[in-house]
Amino acid sequence: MDGRGRALLVPHGPIVNYRMREIGVGLLGLGNVGAGVVRLLEENAKAIEARLGAKLVIRGAAVRDLGKERRAEIDSSLLCDDPMELATREGIDIVCELIGGEELARELVLAAIGANKQVVTANKALLAVHGEELYASAESNGVDLYYEAAVCGGIPIIRALREGLASDRIESIAGIVNGTSNFITCAMAQGGQSFEEVLATAQAEGYAEADPTLDIGGGDAAHKLAILAMLCFGTRVELDDIHVEGIETLAEIDYAMAKQHGYVIKSLAMGVRREMGIELRVHPAMVPQSWLLADVPDTKNAVYVRSYALGPSMYYGAGAGMMPTAMSVVSDLIEVGRNLGANATGSMPLRIQRDLPATAVIPMAQLRSHYYLRFTVADLPGTLGKLTTILGQHQVSIANLSQTVMPGDDEHEQVAVVARTHEALEEHVQSALQAIAGAGLLLAPTQLIRIAS
């Protein structure tokens, strides 16, 4: 305003006593993701200020080890080792939980909400296990709880489901949602490296969880599927209801046989709406080479969604790593910052209630699928006959059968018998496998891989 109360006009419009608002951010954790957040806020500061109309200022960062070397430059006076104090400290508007794990993270987020802070988290384990309690607490306190980075790192899949597809009815999702396991299956399919070597690379690059068994055992993907299922189907999912298998039992020969049969092995997280309820499962699957999901390389993630009005749509990008994940976290900070500016925090529904009432998760035994079965047996007369007879007795019909000498077995002592089945009921396949195991034919456990169709 000028001295007579008139707006002062500049080429872009009126500017009235303009002073940049500051929003205080407290980082709980300064590891891979936390360091990325510091870097992005620094490197992209001007654009972020312009998009938000306010300045995001890091007012503190809690770590476990104050003396540790950091991957981002931060004033050491901002560091502390008491995350609870920081989560509730005056001057912090948004608490950014990047510590990981379940219990401490839960206590910190609840305390932050209780202190009327907005919360941004990248922690899928926290939301999959304690989500209901946290959403309820955020709702009753009227604060934001944003979690874009928790699923598929840098891909804005939460926004796509919560906003872009808000009017649609989702029929199914099939996703590669764990970067580490995708990195491993891609490298194993190429050959030349051991499982352990590839995993060590993923750990060194900061993709793997602190406990990498969550990545290779499918637990991390199950956490993400629980969050996605809530958004897609409007149903609360208990982790125990999700069928989970990891990639650790897959052998070189499975990757080679997949290629020979026109497939690529991927660890898939799937949610499918059926008349009786929803199927929820995470397991390695033979994906046809012609599918887009078969082409998802390295640590990339992708989610293929089928919905009633839109039809198929796919969301693809970096699912893990420092900067992609930091990007999602900072975008959440910007959105929460806007909500703070508009006095509209707590207005975004945290769970989407779609048209499904208390949804039953369909037991795995009821799944109908095509199967790849690899039996390790002795190369003796009658073995094939016995195997196929037992499969037939359990209503499992074979579409294709082959026998291969196990790599390195020059004496031909063991062979791999690979059967691809027609569509069969999981219950029947499992009972056939039990009967085969009991028939004394096997030299090693049978490998089962479901074929995506």
Which positions touch ligand HSE (CB under 6 A)? Answer: 153, 178-180, 207-209, 215, 220, 319-320
Query: In angstroms, what is the minimal distance from the CB of 285 to ligand HSE?
Result: 17
Q: Which residue of this chain has its Cβ atom nearest to ligand NDP in the complex?
A: 31
Beta bridge partners of 304: 174, 314
For residue 133 the two structure tokens come to 């309690």
Question: How many residues at the interface with ligand NDP, by CB under 6 A?
Answer: 28
Could you give the string, one character per residue 132-171, with x where binding to ligand NDP holds by CB under 6 A and - elsewhere?
A: -----------------x---x------------------
Measured from the CB atom, the residue of 199 and 257 that comes closer to ligand NDP is 199
Q: Which residue in the set 56, 186, 278, 320 belongs to the binding site for ligand NDP (CB under 6 A)?
A: 320
Closest contact distance (angstroms) between CB of 352 and ligand NDP is 21
DSSP 395: T
- CB nearer ligand HSE, residue 151 or residue 285: 151
Find the catalytic residue in 224, 259, 266, 386.
224
Q: How far is CA 120 from CA 60, 147, 202, 335, in A?
A: 15, 6, 25, 10
Collapsing DSSP to helix, strand or coil, 124 comes out as helix
- Distance, in Å, from the CA atom of 36 to the CA atom of 322, rounded to the nearest integer, reads 5
Active site residue 224: yes
- What number of CA atoms fall less than 13 Å from residue 294's CA on the CB side? 17
Q: How far apart are CA 250 and CA 197, in angstroms?
A: 15
Q: Which stretch binds ligand NDP (CB under 6 A): 27-35, 41-49, 396-404, 415-423?
A: 27-35
178 binds, among ligand NDP, ligand HSE, none (CB under 5 to 8 A by kind): ligand HSE
User: Judged by CB, which is closer to ligand HSE: 208, or 296?
Assistant: 208
Beta-ladder partners of 268: 283
Do the Cβ atoms of 433 and 447 come closer than 8 Å?
no
Per CB under 6 A, the segment of 63-71, 135-143, 182-190, 193-201 that binds ligand NDP is 63-71
Q: Which two tokens stand for residue 79?
A: 């560091």
Contact 329, 96 (CB under 8 A): yes
The helix/strand/coil state of 371 is strand
Give the pair of three-digit tokens for residue 405. Answer: 């000498």
Residues with a catalytic annotation lie at 224
Q: Which residues bind ligand NDP (CB under 6 A)?
A: 29-34, 62-65, 68, 81, 83, 98-100, 104, 122-123, 149, 153, 206-207, 209-210, 320-321, 325
